[in-house]
Amino acid sequence: MRVGLALLGAVALTGCTSVNPARTPTPQPTAKSTPEPTREVAPQRFRIVPDDYHVPYAGTAQDGRKFFLSDELFAGNAGYVGLYLWNADGTFDEVKADVVRRTPGVPPAQAASAGADALIKSRLAELGNYKLEPIDVAPFTTKVDGTTFGWILDQFEGQYSIHIEPGDFIAYYAPWDGLGYDT
């Protein structure tokens, strides 16, 4: 009978486990894979989207070239109206820059319209039948009478940006969709 009870007890305990803190297995260290920091890739193109703030004029000219036009450009005490032009494929073509009076009372590092409405109208007329629309273009730099103009690719702490010159008052960041920019 003892054998029967022992056998019955063994059957009842089959599948049951007990935890003995002194015998709990120590978890084995696993190889931790530390993901490498992702490196942002420098963009070959970025998008400029027209808006009602600093980008009122961006689009495609009648001849197919892409353009950006601004009268808020500045360097020191000088103001500029700048027409930035890219070929239809988004590669840099040329910059047409005119020196204008800088709006009085504007702080030195702040963009403001130069109020050069006649010059803006003239530059727009040069474009022919243009269309305001998002454009995808390449960054570039060029000098006009000793002043740097362009959309300049820059990197700080691994993050790329593209900012306008002269004035550095618009800066785009990834995802390069043109829907947001820093001023």
Judge whether residue 157 has pLDDT over 50.
yes
pLDDT confidence band for 24 (50 / 70 / 90): very low
Q: Is the pTM of this model over 0.85?
A: no
33: pLDDT strictly greater than 70: no
Q: Which residues have a Cβ under 8 Å from the Cβ of 47 and sit 6 or more positions away?
A: 134, 135, 136, 137, 172, 176, 177, 178
pLDDT of residue 39: 66
pLDDT at 89 over 60: yes
Is there a cis peptide before residue 166, judged by omega within 30 degrees of 0? yes
Q: Look at 31-35, 93-97, 129-133 and tell me which has the smallest mean pLDDT.
A: 31-35
Maximum average pLDDT range among 32-36, 46-50, 105-109 = 46-50
Strand extents, DSSP E, 53-182: 57-60, 66-75, 78-86, 92-101, 131-132, 135-137, 140-144, 147-156, 159-165, 171-172
Distance, CA of 110 to CA of 168 (rounded, Å): 9
- What is the residue extent of each domain of the chain? 46-172
The pLDDT-based confidence of 180 (bands split at 50, 70, 90) is confident
77 neighbors 102 (Cβ within 8 angstroms): yes
Question: Which tokens go with 31?
Answer: 């190889």
